[in-house]
Structure 1
Amino acid sequence: MALGYLALVLHAHLPFVRHPESDYVLEEEWLYEAITETYIPILRVFRDLKKDGVEFKITMSLTPTLVSMLKDELLQHRYDQYLQKLEQLILKEVISNQNNGHLKYLAEYYEQEFAQIRQIWNESERDLVSAFKTFQDSNNLDIVTCGATHGYLPLMKMYPNAVKAQIEVACDHYHDNFGQFPKGIWLPECAYYQGLEDILASAGLRYFITDGHGLIHGNPVPRFGTYAPIFTPRGVAVFGRDSESSQQVWSSEIGYPGDPVYREFYKDLGWEADYEYIKPYIMPNGQRKNVGIKYYKITDRTCSLSEKGLYDPYWAKEKAAEHAGNFLFNRIQQVKHLAGVMGREPIVVSPYDAELYGHWWYEGPQFLDFLCRKIWFDQETIVMTTLGEYLQNHPTQQVATPAQSSWGYKGYHEFWLNESNSWIYPHLHKAIEKMTELAQRNPESELELRALNQAGRELLLAQSSDWAFIMHTGTMVDYAVKRTKNHLLRFNRLYEEIKNGDINGDWLLKLEIMDNIFPDFDYQVYR
């Protein structure tokens, strides 16, 4: 008989990046890289597990922005072109490295990998959302939602209607794509403030996740810490992140992804190859970029890129199996200890960004595959569960109110509100006030109704926490600033045109084509 539970939670999210007005925008490749390195490899893991009779259980968020992009025909077509270029390049690499033993081996390895990516992409008929849904239908996945555009909810709590819009739009979008309303939500950045559960409960949501200190500092202090959920007074369950299992994967010092045999992320063929040779596969303006073919291993985290050794997928896969075994061993010991102390079955909640598995940690999907198999075949101490399934089987829990928290640096809100990005919030808050005003209107024409709905979309897109995050990390800052400003400028112009009764239909149509997220959006959600 099992002594406890392991709940793996994968947060699959990207900001809405779609530029039909341009033939090429580098940031669109965030999606294409994630499809190639994370989403399809994880789907491959799920398919192989099911084929071999392994009944895995994983909770996974698919955020509304990500779902919207994965379902978008323009982006699907552009991904086809992206993958085709990868296939062409790796074929050239196989030919050009015929006399270079190890590089020939690696080029042929990537050729097989890209062929499998293509096969799954085609078999899924380019609809990865439906492909993931099949595993929800088979009760292996518990797919949860997120804020509509991943807006940082604590920084808009003074405007409950704005928080409500983020939640209700997300729930309606989930229903449109999965045929039912979501039961759980991954709060954007796991950021919670007291009272948020009222809005979640009103939307029909049953549970969410916080960082561990959100539970540990709850009121009253939860008896079992992060190893059992609590119920808020509104009945919404709260699961806390387990720091021990998280550290084994996330830590830059002791985390698995830093092992010397794993693939080096920062040494890419796009920067290494002869310029004229690689030119057709980099940016149209001739600037180099990552192309997704990486021949080197981490080797040593302290050495320079020029000192990296050649990667070997065989030994990296062996290491992934070893790490999966180590992770499972530690969870077994953890659960045995906790079960003895608690007198009941603990649940260890291990949430991660999905993009860690494959994109940042290339061997991450292999790790998941080995871990699920080892749990199923090699032990009887723990069982995998989803958060929704756990609540069905354990409907009675302690009642408490969690503490304000996030999973960002220092655990609160500093990462999204600091000297690098604080300038955006007065503008966002003013836009919320204006949208609240617009929401009281009863449109006199179809054109005004379209403008009201588009104003709401522009506000939601401006609220994405990704832009504040990027501004603080210092990567792609110009793009994040531009996106925030552009959506606010579009919103403010729509506001003025609606108020003045002088809506430019041609310009509005352009906005509807560019920022086409949430086609069924209803501006009255801000009432």
Structure 2
Amino acid sequence: MTTNEPVRRSDVAGAPVPGLFTLVLHTHLPWLAHHGRWPVGEEWLYQSWSAAYLPLVRVLRTLAAENRRHLLTLGMTPVVTAQLDDPYCLAGMHHWLANWRLRALEATTLPEPLRAFGLREQAEAEQALDDFSTLWAHGASPLLRELIDGDTIELLGGPLSHPFQPLLNPRLREFALREGLADATLRFAHTPSGIWAPECAYAPGMENDYAAAGVGHFMVDGPSLHGDTALGRPVASSNVVAFGRDLQVSYRVWSPKSGYPGHAAYRDFHTYDHTTGLKPSRVTGRNVPSEAKAPYEPQRADHAIDGHVADFVDVVRRRLVSESDRLGRPAHVIAAFDTELFGHWWHEGPVWLERVLRALPQAGVRIGTLADAIADGFVGSPVELPPSSWGSGKDWQVWAGEQVADMVQLNSEVVDTALTTVDKALGEIDGPPARNSVADQILRETLLTVSSDWPFMVSKDSAAEYARYRAHLHAHATREIADALASGRREHAQRLADGWNRADGLFGALDARRLPK
């Protein structure tokens, strides 16, 4: 018997409450390898890897060793797993961790309080290096497969390159999804039965595409279900279940305006020591300028973690009780976040996760995965979903608004060029076509062009110049290869495809012959 067995209802603190709680984490970054280092580029990957992905795996392995199962549902986008398995990225990450240790060592030579902070950073860097050298030598896939095999987590997949699906040509949308699921099968020997739809974006009819691809459930934001997220809902006439994020619970941790990471005791994300590049300050106060931030105090932060664990457990218990009372049956509560919140943006997040995953069962809350929710009947009546996302306004404006209209047009033109060129290249051969690495690279660059990250970064004015550069770079690569092929310069097209593949060689199993007709 595990610590997550079904429980009976009671409103007494610590006694069992009805229903099921699910934590869903969405792990995503764009393709960053070979595309710049600082301030945006590979540094973003290595920071997230060291601060979020390494600690998360450590937490899950620790809890799995305690015979805890069905802890959370983990979404891994193919573009992230591609980087976490890539030899170039693995070497770069090892160098980055070693540099972190050197920067921490430098801090130990500086006056207090930087010296004490440097000693703690050095210990963290040493642990990360030891973990990485011992466990990560062959990438993330073996580690994640072990967690999946052991029923520690449920895996969610997704389409290649994280495109905003409602705006994507249906042929490329189907191709990206099917290839994304196949990519997960190759890496983990598991084909995900559920996905985290990029940006939780939905357009009516997409449930039919999901059903055809073998996807049984997917995530949307709470407002897509009109705020009633207490049960999964089959979409329209399909058997595909939409699960909605409970904003009342999720926003307790992190919202656009508030949440635990903004507590005065926690490490401040934005304040750097410019000598070492470390972050030695605590938040101190919402309106306190960086130069006036107080030094970070681990004991103060640790006390805040315990308080926020207790608060979250109380919020989940109350929500399960109230939603079960409203429904007249046990309810399902889902809290969902970007994985990178835990460690990268919120330094104390991984410790909070470990403690909360222990505290919830102790408090009488059953925790389980989205697959558990379906198996145990936490599914209600069918629902019609509106066009939606989890972006600002809960609609498509971040990815389709006036601010990014030029990018929407760029995507449309590039996709049309790619599909036309690939169709012609594969249709010119009598009989079944052979594998065509030029056509493969055209689709690879096209998928990178339509990544949802680029319009998001422009709309949010977050490294917007870099985002536009990346979108246009991959569009240029697509057009350059396609133009050479269309004009009959096949050898030149091959050289171009090979050259771009040296920078963008992710998804090696991508096969243009599987593009839907």
Settle same-fold status: TM greater than 0.5.
yes
**Structure 2 matches for 1:84-483, cutoff 5 A?**
84-97=98-111, 100=112, 102-126=113-137, 127-156=139-168, 159-216=169-226, 225-232=228-235, 233-251=237-255, 253-269=257-273, 271=274, 273=275, 278=276, 291=277, 293-377=278-362, 379-380=363-364, 382-394=365-377, 397-440=380-423, 441-442=426-427, 444=429, 449-483=436-470
- AA partner of residue 165 (structure 2): L
Partner Cα separation in structure 2 for residue 154 and residue 477 of structure 1: 22
Range that drifts further, 304-313 or 47-56: 47-56
Partner Cα separation in structure 2 for residue 365 and residue 172 of structure 1: 30
Partner Cα separation in structure 1 for residue 288 and residue 56 of structure 2: 31
Partner Cα separation in structure 2 for residue 192 and residue 267 of structure 1: 37
How many Å apart are 1:213 and its aligned residue?
1.4
User: Are the counterparts in 1 of residues 457 and 467 from structure 2 also a CA contact under 8 Å?
Assistant: yes
Cα distance, 1:407–1:395 mapped onto 2, change above 3 Å:
closer
Cα distance, 1:139–1:489 mapped onto 2, change above 3 Å:
same
Cα distance, 1:265–1:24 mapped onto 2, change above 3 Å:
closer
Q: What's 2:22 paired with?
A: 7
Partner Cα separation in structure 1 for residue 259 and residue 438 of structure 2: 49
Deviations 1:96-125 (A, max 9, x none): 34xx2x433221111111111112111213
Cα distance, 1:234–1:417 mapped onto 2, change above 3 Å:
same
Task: State whether structure 2 residue 52 is matched by structure 1 residue 63.
Answer: no
Q: 2:486 aligns with which of 493, 496, 499?
A: 499
- AA partner of residue 258 (structure 1): G
Q: 2:92 aligns with which of 67, 75, 78?
A: 78
User: Are the counterparts in 2 of residues 249 and 255 from structure 1 also a CA contact under 8 Å?
Assistant: yes
How many Å apart are 1:267 and its aligned residue?
0.8
Cα distance, 1:211–1:34 mapped onto 2, change above 3 Å:
same
How many Å apart are 1:400 and its aligned residue?
2.1
SS in 2 for 1:383: coil
Cα distance, 1:437–1:482 mapped onto 2, change above 3 Å:
same
Partner Cα separation in structure 1 for residue 167 and residue 238 of structure 2: 22
SS in 2 for 1:344: coil
Q: What's 2:4 paired with?
A: none
Partner Cα separation in structure 2 for residue 254 and residue 499 of structure 1: 53
Partner Cα separation in structure 2 for residue 386 and residue 216 of structure 1: 22
Q: What's 2:51 paired with?
A: 37
SS in 2 for 1:205: coil
Cα distance, 1:123–1:375 mapped onto 2, change above 3 Å:
same
User: Are the counterparts in 1 of residues 233 and 379 from structure 2 also a CA contact under 8 Å?
Assistant: no
Partner Cα separation in structure 2 for residue 234 and residue 252 of structure 1: 33
Deviations 1:210-234 (A, max 9, x none): 01111128xxxxxxx2100011222
Partner Cα separation in structure 1 for residue 319 and residue 272 of structure 2: 39
Partner Cα separation in structure 2 for residue 397 and residue 70 of structure 1: 37
User: Are the counterparts in 2 of residues 19 and 25 from structure 1 also a CA contact under 8 Å?
Assistant: no
User: Are the counterparts in 2 of residues 171 and 182 from structure 1 also a CA contact under 8 Å?
Assistant: yes
- AA partner of residue 19 (structure 1): H
Q: What's 2:497 paired with?
A: 508
How many Å apart are 1:251 and its aligned residue?
2.7
Partner Cα separation in structure 1 for residue 388 and residue 379 of structure 2: 24
User: Are the counterparts in 2 of residues 268 and 295 from structure 1 also a CA contact under 8 Å?
Assistant: yes
Cα distance, 1:410–1:179 mapped onto 2, change above 3 Å:
same
User: Are the counterparts in 2 of residues 6 and 383 from structure 1 also a CA contact under 8 Å?
Assistant: yes
SS in 1 for 2:154: strand
How many Å apart are 1:52 and its aligned residue?
3.6
SS in 2 for 1:423: helix
Partner Cα separation in structure 1 for residue 24 and residue 136 of structure 2: 26
SS in 2 for 1:238: strand
User: Are the counterparts in 2 of residues 144 and 185 from structure 1 also a CA contact under 8 Å?
Assistant: yes
Query: For this pair of structures, how many residues does the alignment match?
Result: 493
User: Are the counterparts in 1 of residues 234 and 382 from structure 2 also a CA contact under 8 Å?
Assistant: yes
How many Å apart are 1:26 and its aligned residue?
4.7
User: Are the counterparts in 1 of residues 332 and 378 from structure 2 also a CA contact under 8 Å?
Assistant: no
How many Å apart are 1:60 and its aligned residue?
0.8
Partner Cα separation in structure 1 for residue 146 and residue 200 of structure 2: 26
User: Are the counterparts in 2 of residues 458 and 490 from structure 1 also a CA contact under 8 Å?
Assistant: yes
User: Are the counterparts in 1 of residues 232 and 378 from structure 2 also a CA contact under 8 Å?
Assistant: no
Partner Cα separation in structure 2 for residue 342 and residue 311 of structure 1: 45
User: Are the counterparts in 1 of residues 69 and 150 from structure 2 also a CA contact under 8 Å?
Assistant: no
Could you list the runs of 5+ residues in structure 2 that have no partner in the other structure?
1-7, 9-16
- AA partner of residue 77 (structure 2): T
- AA partner of residue 366 (structure 2): V
Partner Cα separation in structure 2 for residue 204 and residue 25 of structure 1: 40
Deviations 1:28-61 (A, max 9, x none): 1111001111000111211222334444510011
Q: 1:51 aligns with which of 65, 69, 76?
A: 65
Q: What's 1:287 paired with?
A: none
How many Å apart are 1:24 and its aligned residue?
7.9
RMSD: 2.0
User: Are the counterparts in 2 of residues 435 and 526 from structure 1 also a CA contact under 8 Å?
Assistant: no
Partner Cα separation in structure 1 for residue 510 and residue 159 of structure 2: 14
How many Å apart are 1:433 and its aligned residue?
2.1
Task: State whether structure 2 residue 506 is matched by structure 1 residue 521.
Answer: no
Range that drifts further, 193-202 or 513-522: 513-522
Could you list the runs of 5+ residues in structure 1 that have no partner in the other structure?
218-224, 279-290
- AA partner of residue 482 (structure 1): Y
How many Å apart are 1:247 and its aligned residue?
1.3
- AA partner of residue 12 (structure 1): T
Cα distance, 1:112–1:415 mapped onto 2, change above 3 Å:
same
- AA partner of residue 73 (structure 1): P
- AA partner of residue 239 (structure 1): F
